[in-house]
């Protein structure tokens, strides 16, 4: 999920199959079309960015209960008519296991590479895309005319198997929270403390009230966090700060995580199993319903599987006891 020359296509699929076997609820695939500048400067070999829709479709055929989520599908990369078709198709093929996380994209340079010289207000585009996407996923025939998005008399079938399809607004910004309050069934922030989650959720509820919307009773708060698990907190901290994951999170200091760089250690799951269980309890109390996009502080596939196994036994298993 994060940009390092990491796993082959086969290994990426096997990680998802392993996740289901170990009792994880879901896998979350990120969305990139080109390599970021900081990655090119650091690695001689480009990362293996798989298309999330094709990857998750293949994973759907190899699993039975695992939920399949985008974290996030970048809205400016796809016209809403195309995105609606992809989402509905995957939800149908998987038997209703899709969660659609969407956002504006963490790296503006990717959009600029696709559309050189073109200007786009990504926040305005996202609001129009989500509004029109809802029409496409629910109405027999849909038309929409906006500043950035437009289509006429589209009959998009089949509809998703789930009704409604879970759609989460990704990001920490006020715009992301506003879109969550007005347009989606959940919020998908990253690397927040429990207090920050609670404050953001309060803002979402207030914004929904202003908009005259009752949030769904099952409104999802799916927090993206890094994980470094070890026998002691000191060892976990050492592993985290020495990992490529830490470098990746630092790279987001001017975009997704621009307000979360002061103390990444308190905004991720780091420590012994008991430490992490206590952190999970704090996040649950703050309103988090799903720990999404868990990025393990491991730079190889075997190290990732080992960390997943420990997390499964000591954290997932410990939480159920």
Q: For residue 160, what is the DSSP state?
A: P
Nearest-5° Cα angle at 177, 173 to 182: 145
Q: Which of 150, 120, 148 is nearest to 136 (CA)?
A: 150
Provide the token pair at 250: 């630092």
Q: Which of 58-62, 243-247, 288-292 comes out lowest in average pLDDT? A: 243-247
Contact 144, 129 (CB under 8 A): no
What is the arithmetic mean of pLDDT over 293-319? 93
The Cα 190–Cα 208 span in angstroms is 21
Boundaries of every domain in the chain: 1-165
Task: Note the pLDDT of residue 253.
Answer: 67
3-state DSSP assignment of residue 231: coil
* Size of the chain in residues: 321
> Mean of the pLDDT values across residues 133-155?
98
Ranges assigned E (strand) in the chain: 26-29, 67-74, 98-103, 142-145, 150-154, 167-170, 186-188, 220-229, 269-271, 290-296
What are the angstrom distances between the C-alpha of 185 and each of 177, 212, 217, 231, 285? 12, 15, 9, 37, 20
pLDDT of 4 > 80? The answer is: no
Confidence band of 98 (pLDDT split at 50, 70, 90): very high
> What average pLDDT does the structure give for the chain?
93
Mean pLDDT of 295-300: 90
Record the pTM: 0.94
d(CA 52, CA 73): 8
Q: DSSP string of 23-62?
A: T--EEEE---SS--HHHHHH-SSPP----HHHHHHHHHHH
pLDDT tens digits along 261-290: 457 888 999 999 999 999 999 999 999 999
Confidence class of residue 64 from pLDDT cuts 50, 70 and 90?
very high
The fraction of the chain above a pLDDT of 90, given in percent, is 80
Question: pLDDT digit string (tens) for 199-218?
Answer: 999 999 999 999 999 999 99
Asked if residue 305 has pLDDT above 80, the reply is yes
Give the pLDDT band (50/70/90) at residue 254.
low
Helical H segments across 170-294, by residue range: 174-183, 194-210, 233-241, 244-251, 273-286
What pLDDT does residue 57 have? 98
pLDDT in the model for residue 208: 98
- Per-residue confidence (pLDDT) for residue 39, from 0 to 100: 84
- Classify 191 in phi/psi space as left (phi over 0), alpha (psi -120 to 50) or beta: left
Omega before 124 within 30 of 0, i.e. cis = no
Average pLDDT (102-106) is: 94
How much is the pLDDT for 3?
A: 52
Least confident of 17-26, 85-94, 148-157, 288-297: 288-297
User: Measured between alpha carbons, how far is 261 from 26 in angstroms, rounded to an integer?
Assistant: 27
> How many Cα neighbours within 13 Å face the side chain of 17?
10
* Residue 245 clears pLDDT 90, i.e. is over it: no
The residue with tokens 């830490």 is 246
More confident residue, 44 or 203: 203
How many degrees, rounded to 5, is the angle at CA 103 between CA 26 and CA 148? 145
pLDDT at 1: 55
What pLDDT, on the 0 to 100 scale, is given for residue 259?
61
Q: Which DSSP state fits 315? A: I
Q: Which residue is listed with tokens 């949030």?
A: 215
The reported pLDDT for the residue numbered 293 is 84
* Alpha-carbon distance values, 244 to 5, 19, 86, 122, 251 (Å): 11, 21, 31, 28, 11
Fold of the domain spanning 1-165: TIM Barrel (3.20.20)
Give pLDDT, residue 6. 76
């Amino acid at each position: 999920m994060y940009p390092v020359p990491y796993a082959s296509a086969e290994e990426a699929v096997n990680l998802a199959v392993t996740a289901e076997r170990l009792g994880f609820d879901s896998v979350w695939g990120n969305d990139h079309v080109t390599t970021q500048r900081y990655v090119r400067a650091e690695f001689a070999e480009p990362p293996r960015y798989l298309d999330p829709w094709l990857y998750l479709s293949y994973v759907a055929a190899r699993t039975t209960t695992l939920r399949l989520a985008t974290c996030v599908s970048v809205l400016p990369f796809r016209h809403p008519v195309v995105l609606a078709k992809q989402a509905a198709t995957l939800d149908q093929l998987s038997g209703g296991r899709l969660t659609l996380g969407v956002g504006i994209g963490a790296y503006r340079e990717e959009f600029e590479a696709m559309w050189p010289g073109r200007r786009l207000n990504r926040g305005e585009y996202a609001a129009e895309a989500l509004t029109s996407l809802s029409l496409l996923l629910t109405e027999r025939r849909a038309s929409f005319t906006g500043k950035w998005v437009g289509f006429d008399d589209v009959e998009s079938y089949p509809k998703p198997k789930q009704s409604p399809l879970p759609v989460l607004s990704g990001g920490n910004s006020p715009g992301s929270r506003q879109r969550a309050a007005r347009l989606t069934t959940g919020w998908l922030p990253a690397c927040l403390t429990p207090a920050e989650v609670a404050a953001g959720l309060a803002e979402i509820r207030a914004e929904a009230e202003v908009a005259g919307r009752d949030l769904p009773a099952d409104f999802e708060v799916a927090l993206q966090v890094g994980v470094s698990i070890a026998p002691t907190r000191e060892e976990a901290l050492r592993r985290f700060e020495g990992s490529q994951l830490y470098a990746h999170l630092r790279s987001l200091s001017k975009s997704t995580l621009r307000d979360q760089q002061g103390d990444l250690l308190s905004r991720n799951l780091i420590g012994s199993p008991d430490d992490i269980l206590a952190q999970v309890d704090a996040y649950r109390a703050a309103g988090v319903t799903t720990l999404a996009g868990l990025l393990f502080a491991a730079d190889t596939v075997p190290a990732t599987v080992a960390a997943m196994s420990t997390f499964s036994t000591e954290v997932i298993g410990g939480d159920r006891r």
